[in-house]
């Protein structure tokens, strides 16, 4: 029986509907309503669910509900070796897979005390920055689409596609890269990949200019973002916001500068900040960060040294496949590493990297065995979403969409 038939056969319901005919616009505006947005909503960037209390069209309260994409990665990590967890880091912030890979292996290397060759570190910097550009392009494109500029998403995804092709060349996959290994990276960056990267860098700058022209000459875009969702500096710090959202509120804090990992201390780059802290500032912030990443990439390609891409550390680092098949020692080491793990010393470390969304940190507790006793993922999207209820209070319903887009959460990371 279909639903319409039920309604038309129900006399009580029909009477109620008839009785409501004289409902007016004033009734709506004078009554508070509680409405539900998501989890299946195109503008919530995944499965974020919001419960809004609205007075007319003004939002008086908002409660985010998380957990629709909770896969229990922290529980799973406790039951697999350090090596096995690398593919799962792809699924955290799925727009910047390489950054997650790098962040995780850096944490494990800090815990186990593994030194990594300089070339491998430079390759990690290159893929991190490419990934950052790709993630910011998605952020800008979907943000503009959320507020009505649908062309933008085609333009940004066109540019991002070129970066995904580089990842395909390097890692053999466009999204599920799993490119890094404990002690290095899976494969060297070859001439073709270098040439592709150079081509992307040449094309991205004029493309960014075009995108700015498209959006910033559009009055609707500016009007919908300027002065909306202002996050003051003090609140951003108190709420623990990190990444572009913090810098768009005027705090010059970037882990690449504050606590340099890899070889970011050898690279010359600026940390763009904006004092306004509104949605428009967060848009500009991401555009400027793409330009800085282009600068970093150019320097990386110039400075990258020759050498090995994975450490020669038989007790901790997996040997190459050809060596396993031809040498006895390597076969034994491979067997031991895969079956019992790398066995880092007893202790706990916290290691953080600057991801496109903010600070991605791993807190690992080791009890000396091959599996982590505890692995906590500090995900930037999770803490950035905490600002949502403050930003949306007093805003219009349409502003809620703009604010979510400007905060740029990725639920794969927020829900873990």
Partner 1 sequence: MEPRDIIVDKIKSAFGSSLEETSDFRGDLSLTISKDQLVPAATFLKEDRELQFEMCKDVTAIDWATGKKRFTVVYHIYSFKLNFTLRLKVNIDNNPPSIESVTHIWRGADWYERETFDMYGIEFINHPDLRRIYMPQGFEYYPLRKEFPVMGIPGSLPLPKKAE
Distances (CA, A) of 215 to 67, 136, 228, 347: 34, 16, 17, 50
| β-pair partners for 53 | 34, 61
**CA-based max dimension of the chain:** 86
Query: CB-wise, 240 or 287, nearer to partner 1?
Result: 240
User: Around Cβ 298, how many Cβ atoms within 10 Å?
Assistant: 15
Least distance from partner 1 to the Cβ atom of residue 57, Å: 26
Q: Which residue has the tokens 């050498």?
A: 307
Query: CB-wise, 160 or 416, nearer to partner 1?
Result: 416
Q: Which token pair is 338? A: 């895969």
Query: CB-wise, 237 or 396, nearer to partner 1?
Result: 237
**What is the rounded distance in angstroms from the CA atom of residue 323 to the CA atom of residue 182?**
17
Query: CB-wise, 109 or 159, nearer to partner 1?
Result: 109
Query: CB-wise, 221 or 253, nearer to partner 1?
Result: 253
Least distance from partner 1 to the Cβ atom of residue 369, Å: 14
Query: CB-wise, 308 or 348, nearer to partner 1?
Result: 348
| β-pair partners for 396 | 58
Query: CB-wise, 316 or 416, nearer to partner 1?
Result: 416
Least distance from partner 1 to the Cβ atom of residue 41, Å: 19
Query: CB-wise, 272 or 361, nearer to partner 1?
Result: 361
Query: CB-wise, 158 or 374, nearer to partner 1?
Result: 374
Least distance from partner 1 to the Cβ atom of residue 33, Å: 22
**What is the rounded distance in angstroms from the CA atom of residue 287 to the CA atom of residue 408?**
14
Q: Which residues bind partner 1 (CB under 8 A)?
A: 66-67, 70, 72, 74-76, 78-79, 110-111, 113, 237-242, 251, 253, 258-259, 347-350, 352, 359, 361, 363, 365, 373-374, 376, 378, 382-383, 385-386, 415-416
Least distance from partner 1 to the Cβ atom of residue 16, Å: 25
∠ CA 120-126-128, nearest 5°, is 100
**What is the rounded distance in angstroms from the CA atom of residue 25 to the CA atom of residue 332?**
77
Least distance from partner 1 to the Cβ atom of residue 365, Å: 6
Least distance from partner 1 to the Cβ atom of residue 106, Å: 12
Let me know: does 277 contact 248? Beta carbons within 8 Å. Answer: yes
How far is C-alpha 387 from the geometric centre of its chain's CA atoms?
17
Q: Are β-strands 58-65 and 49-55 bridged in parallel, bridged antiparallel, or unpaired?
A: antiparallel
Least distance from partner 1 to the Cβ atom of residue 345, Å: 8
Q: Is 246 helix (H, G, I), strand (E, B) or coil?
A: helix
Query: CB-wise, 196 or 251, nearer to partner 1?
Result: 251
Q: Which residue has the tokens 């038989």?
A: 314
Least distance from partner 1 to the Cβ atom of residue 245, Å: 13
Query: CB-wise, 38 or 141, nearer to partner 1?
Result: 38
Q: Is 211 helix (H, G, I), strand (E, B) or coil?
A: helix
Count of H-run helices and E-run strands, the chain: 20, 8
76-79: Cβ within 8 A, 24+ apart: 77/372, 77/375, 78/371, 78/372, 78/373, 78/374, 78/375, 79/371
User: CB within 8 A of 240, min separation 6: which ones?
Assistant: 383, 386
Q: Which token pair is 102? A: 């790098």
Least distance from partner 1 to the Cβ atom of residue 258, Å: 5
DSSP at 396: B
Least distance from partner 1 to the Cβ atom of residue 190, Å: 34
Distances (CA, A) of 120 to 124, 189, 311, 365: 6, 9, 9, 26
């Amino acid at each position: 029986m279909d639903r319409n038939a039920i309604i038309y056969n129900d006399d009580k319901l029909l009477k109620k509907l008839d009785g409501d005919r004289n409902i007016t616009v004033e009734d709506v505006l004078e009554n508070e309503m509680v409405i539900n947005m998501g989890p299946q909503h195109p503008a919530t960037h995944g499965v974020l669910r919001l419960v809004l209390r609205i007075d007319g069209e003004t939002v008086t309260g908002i409660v985010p509900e998380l957990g629709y994409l909770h896969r229990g990665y922290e529980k799973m990590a406790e039951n697999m070796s350090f090596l096995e967890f690398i593919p799962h880091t792809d699924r955290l912030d799925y727009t910047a897979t390489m950054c997650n890979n790098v962040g995780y292996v850096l944490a494990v290397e800090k815990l186990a005390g593994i030194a990594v060759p300089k070339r491998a570190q430079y390759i990690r910097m290159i893929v991190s920055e490419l990934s950052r550009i790709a993630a910011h392009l998605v952020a800008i494109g979907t943000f503009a689409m959320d507020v009505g500029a649908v062309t933008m998403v085609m333009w940004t995804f066109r540019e991002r596609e070129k970066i995904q092709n580089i990842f395909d060349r390097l890692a053999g996959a466009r999204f599920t890269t799993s490119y890094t290994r404990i002690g290095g990276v899976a494969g060297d960056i070859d001439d073709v990949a270098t040439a592709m990267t150079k081509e992307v860098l040449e094309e991205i700058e004029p493309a960014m200019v075009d995108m700015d022209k498209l959006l910033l000459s559009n009055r609707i875009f500016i009007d919908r973002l300027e002065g909306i969702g202002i996050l003051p500096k003090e609140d951003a710090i108190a709420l623990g916001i990190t990444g572009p959202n913090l810098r768009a509120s005027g705090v010059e804090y970037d882990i690449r500068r504050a606590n340099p990992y890899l070889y970011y201390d050898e690279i010359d780059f600026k940390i763009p900040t904006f004092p306004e802290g509104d949605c428009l500032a967060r848009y500009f912030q991401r555009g400027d960060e793409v330009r800085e990443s282009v600068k970093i990439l150019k320097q990386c390609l110039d400075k990258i040294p020759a050498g090995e891409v994975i450490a020669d550390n038989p007790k901790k680092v997996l040997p190459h496949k050809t060596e396993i098949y031809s040498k006895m020692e390597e076969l034994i080491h491979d067997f031991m590493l895969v079956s019992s793990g790398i066995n880092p010393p007893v202790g706990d470390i916290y290691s953080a990297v600057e991801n496109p969304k903010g600070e991605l940190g791993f807190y690992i507790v080791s009890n000396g065995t091959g599996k982590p006793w505890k692995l906590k993922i500090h995900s930037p999207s999770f803490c950035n979403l905490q600002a949502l209820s403050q930003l949306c209070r007093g805003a219009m319903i349409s502003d809620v969409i703009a604010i979510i887009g400007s905060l740029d959460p990725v639920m794969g990371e927020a829900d873990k």
